[in-house]
Amino acid sequence: MTGMQTSVPELVHPVPADEVDPWARAMVATFLGDPDGPGTRRRVELLTRHWDPARTWGVRDRNRWVATLRTEQRALSLPGAGAETLDLAVDAVTNVTVSATHRRRGLMSRMMEESLTEARDRGDAVSILIAAEWPIYGRFGYAPATVAANYAFRRSRRGARCAGDPGRIRQVERDEFGAAAPAVFAAARRRRAGQVDRDADWWNRVLGREGYPPSEGMPHNWLLHEGEAGPDGLLAWKATSDWGLIPPLASAEVWNLTAATDAAYQDLWAYLSGLDAIDDIRLDDRPVDEPVRWLLDDARTLVMTRHVDFLWLRLLDVPAALAARRYAVPGDLVLDVIDEDVSRFASGRYRLTAEGDEAACAPASGDADVEITQQALASIYLGGFGLSELQLSGAAQERTPGALNQLGLMFSTPHAPWNATWF
Ligand X SMILES: CC(C)(COP(=O)(O)OP(=O)(O)OC[C@H]1O[C@@H](n2cnc3c(N)ncnc32)[C@H](O)[C@@H]1OP(=O)(O)O)[C@@H](O)C(=O)NCCC(=O)NCCS
List interacting residues with ligand X (CB under 6 A). 30, 96-98, 103-109, 131-133, 135-136, 139
| Residue with smaller CB distance to ligand X, 133 or 173 | 133
The residue count of the chain comes to 423
Least CB distance from residue 133 to ligand X, whole Å? 5
| Residue with smaller CB distance to ligand X, 133 or 216 | 133
Least CB distance from residue 71 to ligand X, whole Å? 13
Least CB distance from residue 32 to ligand X, whole Å? 8
User: Residue by residue, what is the 3-state secondary structure of the chain?
Assistant: CCCCCCCCCEEECCCCHHHHHHHHHHHHHHCCCCCCCHHHHHHHHHHHHCCCHHHEEEEEECCEEEEEEEEEEEEEEEECCCCCEEEEEEEEEEEEEECHHHCCCCHHHHHHHHHHHHHHHHCCCEEEEECCCCCCCHHHCCEECCEEEEEEEECCCCCCCECCCHHHEEEECHHHHHHHHHHHHHHHHCCCCCCECCCHHHHHHHHCCCCCCCCCCCCCEEEEEEECCEEEEEEEEEECCCCCCCCCCEEEEEEEEEECCHHHHHHHHHHHHCCCCEEEEEEEEECCCCHHHHCECCHHHEEEEEEEECEEEEECCHHHHHHHCCCCCCEEEEEEEECCCHHHCCCEEEEEEEECCEEEEEECCCCCCEEEEHHHHHHHCCCCCCHHHHHCCCCEEECCCCHHHHHHHHHCCCCCCCCCCCC
Least CB distance from residue 164 to ligand X, whole Å? 38
Count Cα neighbours of 298 within 13 Å in the Cβ-side half-sphere: 11
Least CB distance from residue 175 to ligand X, whole Å? 33
| Residue with smaller CB distance to ligand X, 114 or 289 | 114
| Residue with smaller CB distance to ligand X, 28 or 333 | 28
Least CB distance from residue 105 to ligand X, whole Å? 5
| Residue with smaller CB distance to ligand X, 113 or 201 | 113
| Residue with smaller CB distance to ligand X, 29 or 200 | 29
Question: Partners of 323 in the beta sheet?
Answer: none
| Residue with smaller CB distance to ligand X, 32 or 246 | 32
Least CB distance from residue 48 to ligand X, whole Å? 21
| Residue with smaller CB distance to ligand X, 132 or 329 | 132
| Residue with smaller CB distance to ligand X, 30 or 77 | 30
- The single-letter code of the amino acid at 137 is Y
Q: Are 283 and 151 in contact (CB under 8 A)?
A: yes
Least CB distance from residue 38 to ligand X, whole Å? 22
Least CB distance from residue 423 to ligand X, whole Å? 11
